[in-house]
Amino acid sequence: MYPRIVDIPLPFEIGGLDSLTVYSYGLMVVIGVLVAAWLAARELDRFFWNGRLPGVKVPVPPEEQDGGREKRRGRNRRPPMRTASPSVLMGTIATIAIVAGIVGAKLFFILENLDLLARDPVGTIFATGGLTFYGGFLLAAASIVWFLHRYDLSARTFADAIAPGLMLAYGIGRIGCYLAGDGDWGV
């Protein structure tokens, strides 16, 4: 297996590190997230144009307002809004999912291994390993549902739109597990 893809030497030492290591699992997770976000954005566009999801209100960029001239006087005036596809929120949603997923995965690992936490609290909390998939999935899903509620979007329809991307991302992440030598049955 290939847990480490490349070590990139750094021109100076940072916190005791003289090289940046790219791990196969991390690379595959990043690829999975990017592919899932791209596919989910395309599906959200399709759902928006088919009328299954409503549009979201987003500010009109200043360059599109009266030839780029700023007409707002005073600080409290809101910029003009326009309706756009929910896919414009995909970058924010992906960021929320990544952060909440990592935090949830670590929290559930700690809850499953309270004996490790009692023996070595700092080592358990700050260890590089110890991530539980379903913990990350649950906290990321709850965080995204909360975010969607703020924009009055249906969580069920949104879940329907992003499901193909999530399945693909999970499969790509599993390939990363095999590349790292952490596959099922010790493969």
pLDDT at residue 75, as a whole number: 59
pLDDT above 90 coverage of the chain, percent: 49
Residues 142 and 167 in one domain: yes
CA 136/CA 101 separation, integer angstroms: 4
Instruction: Read off the pLDDT of each residue in 49-55 and give the average, rounded to a whole number.
Output: 91
* 15 found inside a domain: no
**pTM of the complete model:** 0.80
Closest to 170 measured CA to CA, from 101, 95, 93, 81: 101
* 92 found inside a domain: yes
* 12 found inside a domain: no
pLDDT at residue 34, as a whole number: 95
Residues 115 and 168 in one domain: yes
Closest to 90 measured CA to CA, from 138, 27, 153: 153
pLDDT at residue 69, as a whole number: 54
Domain count for the chain? 2
Top pLDDT among 79 and 106 is at 106
pLDDT at residue 165, as a whole number: 94
Residues 174 and 106 in one domain: yes
CA 136/CA 122 separation, integer angstroms: 20
Condensed to tens digits (0 to 9), the pLDDT of residues 134-168 reads: 999 999 999 999 999 998 899 999 999 999 999 99
State the chain's mean pLDDT as an integer: 87
Condensed to tens digits (0 to 9), the pLDDT of residues 11-49 reads: 888 777 888 889 998 899 999 999 999 999 999 999 999
What range does the domain containing 165 cover? 25-53+86-186
Residues 176 and 151 in one domain: yes
Residues 71 and 92 in one domain: no
Condensed to tens digits (0 to 9), the pLDDT of residues 55-81 reads: 998 888 777 666 545 555 555 567 788
Condensed to tens digits (0 to 9), the pLDDT of residues 166-177 reads: 999 999 988 988
pLDDT at residue 67, as a whole number: 54
pLDDT at residue 105, as a whole number: 92
Residues 126 and 48 in one domain: yes
pLDDT at residue 1, as a whole number: 74
pLDDT at residue 87, as a whole number: 93
Residues 35 and 118 in one domain: yes
Any residues with CB less than 8 A from the CB of 85 and at least 6 apart, and which?
Answer: 44, 45, 48, 49, 55, 56
Q: Please, which residues bridge with residue 58 across strands?
A: 82
Residues 102 and 165 in one domain: yes
Condensed to tens digits (0 to 9), the pLDDT of residues 82-96 reads: 889 999 999 999 999
Any residues with CB less than 8 A from the CB of 183 and at least 6 apart, and which?
Answer: 174, 177
Residues 73 and 122 in one domain: no
Residues 138 and 74 in one domain: no
Closest to 164 measured CA to CA, from 73, 47, 6: 47
